[in-house]
Structure 1
Amino acid sequence: MVDSPEFQSVVELRRYTLHPGRRDELIELFEREFVESQEACGMRLFGLFREPAEPDKFVWLRGFRDMATRRAALEAFYGGPVWRAHGPAANETMIDASDVLLLRPSGPGFPAPGGGGESRVLATVCHPAVPVKEFSAYFADTVAPRLRDSGVDTFGHFETEPAENTFPRLPVREDETVFVWFSKPAEEHREVLAGVGAELADKLERPWQQLELAPTARSVLR
């Protein structure tokens, strides 16, 4: 079972750089004002995260039914009263909000809500040196089963959504193609993941990027 599969047709992976020491300020404001108000406009917030290794990074995931409803939802929210009232305060905490990947599903989606505590999520961003569909199929057929046999369950397989960004007020990372997958990090899996990363090196344009993420109190994905 996946969480809100109809909202996983288009997913944004958003990674913000904040002014030093202001992350908790943004998270408090975000969780108080921007969760229900965004979802009321037609989107789904899947994850809100601190990045423990980077104290001035805030990462979050939101999804849409399709590109047309994404545009309508973003126009409604960013043109609406909640953002007018609280957007300036949020923007004051940020140095850069343009590190955004626009994605579409290429395999399993996000799981249904469940669990709690101090769990972590590992997001792995790959830049395939081969066509992304070929890389996705190889990952699903070869890599994911081997990881699963080693105790690493993957979920949330996504690739770049190539459609034009129809809400240019919010930029995305264009002119690059990625494959992104999620898992639960554990110390005993580091060697396994390192081995897979080395094995995939000839299929990647660059070493993969791994973001270990700590869910905030209101994150659905955890």
Structure 2
Amino acid sequence: MSELRHPVVELRQYTLHSGGRDALVDLFDREFVETQEAAGMAVVGQFHDLADPDRFVWLRGFPDMPRRAAALHEFYGGPVWRRHREQANATMVDSDDVLLLRPLDGRFGFPAPAVRPPVGHRDRPATRFTATLCHRTGPVDRSFVDLFHRRIRPLLVETGAAAVACLSTEYAENTFPALPVRTGEHVVCWLSRFADAGQLDDHIRHLDRSRRWRDEVLPELSGTLRTPPRLLRLAPTARSALR
């Protein structure tokens, strides 16, 4: 069980202009990591979406909703964002796909991060991550928590995934309305880590072939969902702390 960290988490998915991702990642990793953390938030991880060269996915965490508001006001009202916002915004088609989340049942949050490489580091880690997004018909209940801990998580581990965290919707009012978040949704998202692309491919293949997943777990899970689970395949940027 991971130590509870970042009781409030944003999962941010950006759609970018064609060819703009490298420019945004370079700018982000150089200018927006330490400066956001100095304002009171944690940049948990930044990722290339492996299925779409024009998608950038990242996570940031906060101690609570009031301190989220204070940290965002400080950063977005500060000199670094003012100096670079036009360059950053020029890469983006849409930056409003944002889910406000919290650790599932207050227990399964992010582990302590790895030491982040310094500014200017260019070598991207071989590790891969997945984020599985489940849009539920209603809020998380005890039966889903039991399903995740008793059946889903053990099966993920059995098929080669290192379970990192599981998050569900944070229903508190958005304390920084200048940055929209998606509302009226009931979401669960679990994240898994893999040593490399080959291990990720093996995991997906083994899970697809698992009779227990196909015939038992997936039908029970799907009965609570509006749409089938969505899998994001993610590669950390050179300076991602989650790596």
What's the CA shift for 1:150?
3.2
- Alignment partners' CA distance in 2, 1:34 and 1:150: 36
Aligned to 2:120: none
Identity of aligned residues (%): 51
1:126 and 2:134 matched? yes
Equivalent position SS for 2:47: strand
Aligned to 1:158: 167
Contact 2:20 2:54 in 1 (8 A): yes
Structure 1 residue aligned with 2:10: 12
State the Cα deviation string for residues 36-91 of structure 1 (Å, max 9, x = none).
11000000001011112100000000000000000000000001111111111101
Instruction: Name structure 1 gaps, 5 residues minimum.
Output: none
Deviation (angstroms), 1:113:
3.3
TM-score where L is the length of structure 2? 0.84
Q: State the partner residue of 2:236.
A: 215
Report if the CA contact (8 A) 1:136-1:179 is conserved. no
SS of equivalent to 2:232 = strand
Equivalent in the alignment of 2:47: 49
Give the structure 2 partner of residue 189 of structure 1. 203
Q: Which runs of 4+ in 1 moved over 4 A?
A: none
Which stretch shifts more, 92-101 or 116-125? Answer: 116-125
User: Using the alignment, how far apart are the partners of 2:32 and 2:139 within structure 1?
Assistant: 37
Match of 1:148 in 2: 157
> Any stretches of 5+ residues in structure 2 without a counterpart?
116-123, 195-199
Question: Given the two structures, how large is their TM-score scaled by the length of structure 1?
Answer: 0.92
Partner of 2:82: 84
Cα distance in 2 between the residues matched to 1:21 and 1:68: 37
Tell me the equivalent position of 1:111.
111
1:30-41 → structure 2 map (5 Å cutoff)? 30-41=28-39
**Count of aligned residue pairs for this structure pair:** 220
Please tell me whether the aligned partners of residues 46 and 62 of structure 1 are also in contact (alpha carbons under 8 angstroms): yes
